[in-house]
Amino acid sequence: MLGLVANKRRIQTGARMPASQSLAPRPPASLETVHNILGSLVERYRQEEVLTAVRQIPARTAKFRPIPVWVTSALSEAYRAKGIRELYSHQAAAAELVRNGRNIVVVTPTASGKTLCYNLPVVNAVQEDPDTRALYLFPTKALAQDQLSELHDLSKRLDDRFGVFTYDGDTPSDARKAIRERGHIVLTNPDMLHTGILPHHTKWMRLFENLRYIVLDELHTYRGVFGSHLANVLRRLKRIAKFYGSDPQFICCSATIANPGELASQLIEKEGEVVEENGAPAGEKLFVFYNPPMVNRNLGIRRSYINEATRVSKEILARKLQTIVFANSRLHTEVLLTYLQQANPSKPGQPEPIRGYRGGYLPGERREIERGLRDGRILGVVATNALELGIDVGSLDACVMAGYPGTIASTWQRAGRAGRRTGSSCAVFVASSAPLDQFIVQHPDYFFGNSPEHAHIQPDNLEILVNHLKCAAFELPISTDERFGNVNLRELCEQLGEAGFLHQSGGDWHWIDEAYPADTISLRSITSDNFVIIDTTGEDRGKPEVIGEVDFSSALTTVHPKAIYIHQGQQYHVEQLDFDKRKAYVKPVNVDYFTDAIRYTQVRVLEVAEEETISDPAGRTHGDVLVRSQVVGFKKIKFFTNENVGSGKLELPENEMHTTSFWLTLGHNLLAELPFSLSERQGGIFGLLYALGSMATLLMMCDRRDLGTAVGERPPSAASEINWEDFAFPSNTSETKEFFEPNLYIYDAYPGGIGFSEPLYRTCDTLLSRTLELISACPCENGCPSCVGPTADRRERTKEVALEILGRLCRDAQFTATRTAETA
Amino acid sequence: MSMRYVSLDRIQGLKALRRSSTPKAPTRDWQASLLDDCGESHPRTKTIQYDPDRLSQILGASPKTNQYGDYLSVRCWCAQPPRYCPELRALRLLMPDALDEIADPEQWLFLDTETTGLAGGSGTYAFLVGVAWWDGGGLEIEQFFMREYSEERSLLFALRERIAEHPVLVTFNGKSFDWPLLETRYRMSRKISVPAPRAHLDFLHPARNLWRLRLGSVRLSELEHHVLGWDRGADVLSGQIPQIYFDYLRGGPAERLVPVLNHNQMDLRGLAALSSRILSLLSGVEELGQDGLELFGVSRICEKRGEHSRARKLYEKSIASVLPTETDRIARRSLARLAKREGDFELACELWKDALGNSRHGYEAYEQLAIYYEHKARDPEQALQVVRQAIDELRRAIQTGDIAPGPYCEIKVRFDRRIERLERKSRRPLLDAMSARAQA
C-alpha cells in the first residue's frame, strides 16, 4: 500500500511537469492511472462487454539463496560487482542440478534472471577447467547478439579468462578460425549448427572434444516443424560429440507451457529435471482484456482492433508512460506506428518519441532503439514479435497487444516486457475478431489459469528424419549398430542406398553424392518451394516488380487466377498463375470484394491407430490418412456485407499428401435426431468443424496453417462418392446430399504428420468442451468469423446446429449442457 | 529393450528420397548375384566389387598393405618435366621466411587429389591422392587409390609416410582445397594424426599474379597449354570425376577410372613443370622474359615482398615492352609510387603528369602532384594551380556526365579541403616560410 501512495504522489508531480520537458524522470505507472485510462476508454460502452477482464496480479517478493560455495571466488566476485550478492531460489536450484550433472529445464517468466541459470554453472566450469566448451543455441540471431554483450561483460570482469563468440551467417570468414579454436562459449542458432557447424565438425574438433554443455534457450519456440527438425539436428550433434568422446549436458530454458519437461525430453532424448519455482521478485501488474465494441451484432462485426489498439495506446502514451505496442504483422506495425507518430509528433531538435522495431530494420538502428528505450529517450515502440524474446530493452510501464499473439506463452512474454521489479505496470490485450482472439478474450479463466498449452513435436516424422539422416551420413559414416530416432536404421540405410545416396563399405554406410545435403534442408519452413508475386504494371517500361511471395501450400488458395490478392492494403487482381515457374502475375485494382478459394479436400483413411466411441453414436479416431486437395473454384465476397456476389471455376493441379489425422465420426442416428433440415444440418457440420479447427490450434500451440480440416464420409459407405461441387457451389444446386455418417477430420498439414493427431485424440474432451464454450459465448446470432465461420444467409442456422451436435457429444462429459440451453 | 519402430511402409513416397538426376543405381538382381558370389557372412568381402587382380591390371596398379589394411598404388617415372633446382632467393619471394632446406628439391612432394565433390565438409572424400617427387633427373609419381571407402585409413597412412620422406608440400590451390580436405580426412580417421609438412608452397597465387591478366583463367590445364605449350589431348572433365567414382563403387566398369588416373598424373606433371617455370621467372625474369605481362607480374610479387629496387627495374622494363592500356596504367602508377618512395621525384612527377585526367588514377595523380608541390617543393602556388586544374576537370566531367555523382562528391570533397588549406596557407606566406625554416 505504501508503494501505491508513494506512486500517487509522484504522479501528481509528474502531472505538473510542462509537456515540453524531457521525458526523464518519468512517473512509473500506478494502478490508479491505469484505472483512469480504462475509465476514459470505455465511457460510451457497457464496461463489462468491452473490458472482459481486469486482473490484478499481485507483487511477488524475492526468494533468495546464497551463491553456492563451489562457485569460484573470482566468479562470485564478478557477480557481486554487478550487484548480484545472492541468487534467486530457482537460479540456485538450477545451478546445483547442473553441478550434479543433470539435464535441466528452467521454466520461469520474462525478466526472472534465467540467463544466470546457465551462465553461472557454465562460466564456473570454464573457470575450473579452461578446456571446457559450451554451445548456446538461440532461435534467432538477434537473441544471440543480446546474450553476447552480457557474457562479454562477465568475461571482462574475469580478466578475459574465457572467450565468447557468436557464430552465424554474419560472422566474417577471417574470424571463424579463431572462434573455432578459442571460443569457450559459442553462441549460435539451430540453422547455423545444421548447415555451418555439424558438416564441418573436423574444424570444430576442440569444441566437440571438450563439449560439456549445450544451452537451449526459449525452448518453447522449438515446436511443430521447427522443433521436429531441431530434435534431429540434436541427434546429429550428439552423434558427433560421441565421436569425439564427449557427452554434453543440456540446460534448457522455457516460457511457461504445460509440458516443458516432456518437450525437453523429446528434443534432447535424455532424462531431465524441471525447475519451476520462480524466486524472482515482480511488481504488481494489471492485466486487461479489451474486446472492441460491436458495430453489427448480426454479423458479429466489431470495431477494428487496430484502431482500438491505437486508441488505448494513445491514452497511455498521453500520460507519458513508456509503452510497447505489439502487432502481429509487419504491415500492422507500420499502420500503428503511423497513427501513434501522428498523435505524438517529435519536437524540433528532439528525437522521435515513438519508434518502430521489426525484422528488416538494420542492426545499428535496432541497437539505438534498444538503448533509447533503456535510457528513457524513447517513449513508445511499436514492435513485431522481434522484441518478444529476451532482447534487453529494460522494463517498460505498459504493454499493448493488438491481436492475440497466438499462444498464452508468448502473450505472457510480451506482457512481461512491461513490468519492473518494483512499482506497477499494465498489459492490455486488444482482441481481433479471429476465433482464437474471441475465445481468449471471453474466457479469461482459460488464460489466467494453469497453462493448458502443450508444445508438440514429431522427431520421427519420416520426411524430416530421412533428410537429417542424409546429413548425418555426410557428417560421419553410419554404422549398423547405431540408433537414430525410432526407426529401423538398417532398413532405412538400405533404402537410401538404393536411392543412390549411401554406399555400404566395411560395414558402414557412407555418403556417396557430390551435393552437400544440409544446404537443401530448411529447418523453418515446411517447403522451400515459394511462388513469387509479380506486379506487371511496370512491364511496358520493362520493370515488372516482385511484390512478395507465398509458400506453396497457400499459393493455390491465395493467388489462383482471378483471385484478389491483398498486399500491404492494396488489392491486386491475379491475371495469370504460372504453376511450373512458380510465378503469379498481378495488377493493382480497386474493387469492393475479396475472393475466397473453394478447396475440395478428400481424405481417405489408410490406417486407424486408435479409435473409441465417445457418447454413442459418435466416435473419435486417429490414424494415417491420404489427403487429396484441389482448388476447384472461388467465391467473390463483398466487403462488409459478406454477400456472395459471384463465383468461378478453376482447373488447378491436385495435391496429394500422406499425413496423420484426428477425426470425429458423427453417427447416423445422432444426425437423424436433430430437428433441422438437411442443408441446415450440413451447414452446421461445416460450422462445427471450423470452430473445432480454431480451438485445436489453440490447444496445440500451432499456427492455423499447420492444421487442415475436411469433412468426409465414414469408410463403409465411401462407395457413394460425394459430389464435391455440391459443396463448392451450394447456391447452384437445388438438392444437397445427406452425409450418412460424416467424419470431421483435423489433419496435420505436413507430409508424414507433425505430431498433433494423437494429442488431439487424447484431449478430445477438452477440445469439444472448449469449442462449445467458444460458440456459446459468441454474441453473434447465426454465426460469424469468430465462431462457426462467416454466414451469408440468415436462414442458415449454422450456430444452432453446431451447438446442438456439440451438446450431444458433450452429454457424457462433465461439461454441462445448461450453458448450451441458455444460448440456444 | 523392445522398441516399436516407425513404419517405413510409405518411404517410397518421401521427397527426401527423390533426386533431381537419378544415377544408375544397381538393381536388386545385380546385388543378389553379387551376394551369391561373395557369400553374405563376410560383409567386408561384399564391398569388393571386382576381381582384385583384374582391377589392378586395368589401372596398372599393385595392391599394397599396411597396418590399417589394403590400398592400390600406381607408380610411374617421367623424364618430363626435368628436375629443377630452385634458387632460395626466388623461393623467398613466395615464402619470405623460407629456410635453406626448403630449397632442397629432394624434400619436395607435389600433391594433387581427386575427390567425391567440391563442396568440402566431412562427407567429401579424397579417393585418389597423387604425389610426385624428383628422382633420377625426372619425376617419380605415385598414386594412392582406395577401392572402397573402407580403404581410406590405409591410404592415409601410406600418404603420411611419403610426406615424412618428402616434407615440403607443393600444390596448386592445395592451401584452400586439397590440404584442408586431407586434414579433415585424417581427423575423421581418429587413428592417424594429421601429418605436419615442414612447409607448404602453393602456386595458385603466383600463377594468378603472372598470367591472369593475359589468360583470364588460371586453371592448371590452361596454364599448361598457354605457358608450357603442352597439349593434354583427351582429358576427362573435372566435374565428371566424382560421378565416375560413384559409378565404379556401384559396380560400374573400372575402365572408366583410367582417364581419371591419367588426369591426376597430368595435373602432377603440370604442377611440377609450372612450379619450375614460376621459380625460374622469379630468379631471372630479366634474362628469360620477353613478355611484358610476365615482367609486370614478377615486379608485383617483388614489390609485395619489399624488393623495391628490383621491382622498379622490372616495372620500367615491362613498360618499355608494350603493355595493355589498363596494365600499363597500373605499372606506371606503381612505378611512380616506388620512385616517390626512393625520393626520385623527377621520375615520379613525370609519371604523374602523364597520368592526369578524368579517372580514378588521374585524380590520384593530381593529388600526388599537389602533395609534392605543397610539402616537398614547398610551392603552394603551384600546388594550388594543380588542385584548381583537378577541380576544373571534375566540373567538366560531371557536366558531360563522364563521372557518376557518387565518386564525384567523394573526390570533390577531398580537393575542396585541400584548396581551402592551400588558400589559407598562401595568405600567410611569411608564417609558412618561417615554420619551414624552423622545421629545417
ipTM: 0.78
* Best CA proximity match to A221, nearest among A545, A640, A523, A567: A523
B275 and B319: one domain? no
A301 or A723, which is more confident? Answer: A301
B203 and B96: one domain? yes
Concatenated DSSP letters for A543-583?
A: --EEEEEEEHHHHHHHSSTT-EEEETTEEEEEEEEETTTTE
B331 and B395: one domain? no
Nearest to B8 among A201, A205, A487 (CB): A487
B336 and B226: one domain? no
Distance between CA A164 and CA A136 in Å, rounded?
Answer: 10
B72 and B187: one domain? yes
Distance between CA A366 and CA A221 in Å, rounded?
Answer: 22
Looking at the complex, does the CB of residue B5 fall below 8 Å from at least one CB of chain A? yes
- The band of A290, judged by pLDDT with boundaries at 50, 70 and 90, is very high
Q: Cβ A200–B121 below 8 Å, yes or no?
A: yes
Residue B194, in any domain of the structure: yes
Instruction: Provide the pLDDT for residue A730.
Output: 41
Instruction: Provide the pLDDT for residue A570.
Output: 67
| Bridge partners of residue A354, in order along the sequence | A380
Distance between CA A716 and CA A730 in Å, rounded?
Answer: 25
Looking at the complex, does the CB of residue A487 fall below 8 Å from at least one CB of chain B? yes
**Phi and psi torsions of B215, nearest 5°:** -100, -15
Distance, in angstroms, between A456 CA and closest chain B CA? 17
Residue B13, in any domain of the structure: no
* Domains in chain A: boundaries: 2-13+26-53+282-440, 64-275, 462-520, 530-591, 605-823
The domain spanning residue B156 has which CATH number? 3.30.420.10
**Distances from the Cα of A710 to the Cαs of A694, A721, A722, in angstroms?**
13, 15, 13
Domain boundary among B259, B281, B303: B281
Q: What is the mean pLDDT of residues B238-245?
A: 92
Report the residue of chain A nearest B15, measured CA to CA: A463
- The band of B268, judged by pLDDT with boundaries at 50, 70 and 90, is very high
Q: How much of chain A, in percent, has pLDDT values that exceed 90? A: 33
Distance, in angstroms, between B24 CA and closest chain A CA? 8
Residues of A in contact with B43 (CB under 8 A): 504, 506-507
A820 or A737, which is more confident? Answer: A737
Q: How much of chain A, in percent, has pLDDT values that exceed 70? A: 86
C-alpha cell of residue A654: 491436385
A97 dihedral zone (left: phi>0; alpha: psi -120 to 50; beta): alpha
Residue B34, in any domain of the structure: no
C-alpha cell of residue A643: 454477400
Task: Provide the CATH topology of domain A462-520.
Answer: Arc Repressor Mutant, subunit A (1.10.10)
* Dihedral sign (CA A257, A444, A700, A671): positive
> Given the C-alpha cell 564427449, which residue does it identify?
A246
Looking at the complex, does the CB of residue B117 fall below 8 Å from at least one CB of chain A? yes
H helical segments located in A100-223: 114-128, 141-157, 173-182, 190-192, 205-209
CB atoms within 10 A of CB A154: 20
- Average pLDDT over all residues of chain B: 82
Whether A462-520 and A64-275 are alike in CATH topology: the answer is no
Residues 6+ positions from B147 with CB-CB distance below 8 Å: B48, B49, B50, B52, B55, B70, B71, B72
User: Which H or E run includes B337?
Assistant: helix B325-341
> Which CATH architecture is the domain A2-13+26-53+282-440 placed in?
3-Layer(aba) Sandwich (3.40)
* Best CA proximity match to A193, nearest among A141, A119, A249, A151: A141
Helix, strand, coil % in chain B, rounded to nearest 5 = 60, 10, 25
A64 or B306, which is more confident? Answer: A64
A261 or A369, which is more confident? Answer: A261
Instruction: Provide the pLDDT for residue B98.
Output: 81
Residue B59, in any domain of the structure: yes
Cβ-based burial of B379 (10 A; exposed 0-12, middle 13-18, buried ≥19): middle
Residues of B in contact with A492 (CB under 8 A): 8, 11
Distance, in angstroms, between A673 CA and closest chain B CA? 41
Instruction: Provide the pLDDT for residue A818.
Output: 37
| pLDDT, tens digit (0-9, with 9 covering 90-100), for A143-181 | 888 788 889 989 999 988 889 999 987 788 888 888 888
Residues 140-169 (A) with a CB less than 8 A from some CB of B? none
B244 and B300: one domain? no
Looking at the complex, does the CB of residue A177 fall below 8 Å from at least one CB of chain B? no
Cβ-based burial of B23 (10 A; exposed 0-12, middle 13-18, buried ≥19): middle
Residues of B in contact with A491 (CB under 8 A): 8
B196 and B67: one domain? yes
Write down how long chain A is. 824
Q: Cβ B187–A205 below 8 Å, yes or no?
A: yes
Instruction: Provide the pLDDT for residue B28.
Output: 36
What is the greatest pairwise CA distance in chain B?
A: 105
Residue B413, in any domain of the structure: yes
In degrees, rounded to 5, the angle at the alpha carbon of residue A210 between the alpha carbons of residues A207 and A214 is 75
Count CA atoms within 13 Å of residue A29 on its CB side. Answer: 29
Domain count, chain B: 3
Q: What is the mean pLDDT of residues A354-378?
A: 80
> Given the C-alpha cell 574444424, which residue does it identify?
A203
User: Which H or E run includes A408?
Assistant: helix A408-415
* Dihedral sign (CA A120, A124, A130, A131): negative
Lowest mean pLDDT among A655-669, B67-81, B414-428: B414-428
**For residues A285 and A426, is the Cβ–Cβ distance under 8 A?**
yes
C-alpha cell of residue A621: 479416431
Domain that holds residue B228: 45-281
B242 and B138: one domain? yes
Q: Cβ A658–B6 below 8 Å, yes or no?
A: no
Residue B64, in any domain of the structure: yes
Distance, in angstroms, between A511 CA and closest chain B CA? 6
> Domain A64-275's class?
alpha beta
B275 and B128: one domain? yes
Distance between CA A87 and CA A92 in Å, rounded?
Answer: 6
Write down how long chain B is. 440
Instruction: Provide the pLDDT for residue A490.
Output: 92
Distance, in angstroms, between B242 CA and closest chain A CA? 7
Residues 6+ positions from A308 with CB-CB distance below 8 Å: A290, A292, A430
Report the residue of chain B nearest A240, measured CA to CA: B188
H helical segments located in B39-150: 43-47, 52-59, 88-94
Lowest mean pLDDT among A655-664, A712-721, B62-71: A712-721
Residues of A in contact with B25 (CB under 8 A): 498-500
CB contacts < 8 A (A, B): 126
Distance between CA B416 and CA B394 in Å, rounded?
Answer: 11
Q: Which residue out of A512, A525, A608, A610 would a mutagenesis test of the B interface target, given it has the greatest number of B Cβ atoms within 10 Å? A: A512
**For residues A811 and A817, is the Cβ–Cβ distance under 8 A?**
yes
Q: How much of chain B, in percent, has pLDDT values that exceed 70? A: 86
Q: Cβ B14–A466 below 8 Å, yes or no?
A: yes
Domain boundary among B231, B254, B281: B281
B135 and B62: one domain? yes
Residue B180, in any domain of the structure: yes
Lowest mean pLDDT among A41-50, A101-110, A614-623, A805-814: A805-814
Name the pairing type of β-strands A618-638 and A644-649.
Answer: antiparallel
Instruction: Provide the pLDDT for residue A593.
Output: 81
Instruction: Provide the pLDDT for residue A519.
Output: 84
Distance, in angstroms, between A134 CA and closest chain B CA? 21
B311 and B263: one domain? no
**For residues A815 and A700, is the Cβ–Cβ distance under 8 A?**
no
Instruction: Provide the pLDDT for residue A641.
Output: 61
Residue A305 has pLDDT above 50, yes or no: yes
Instruction: Provide the pLDDT for residue B437.
Output: 67
Residue B33, in any domain of the structure: no
- Average pLDDT over all residues of chain A: 82
B398 and B250: one domain? no
Instruction: Provide the pLDDT for residue A639.
Output: 66
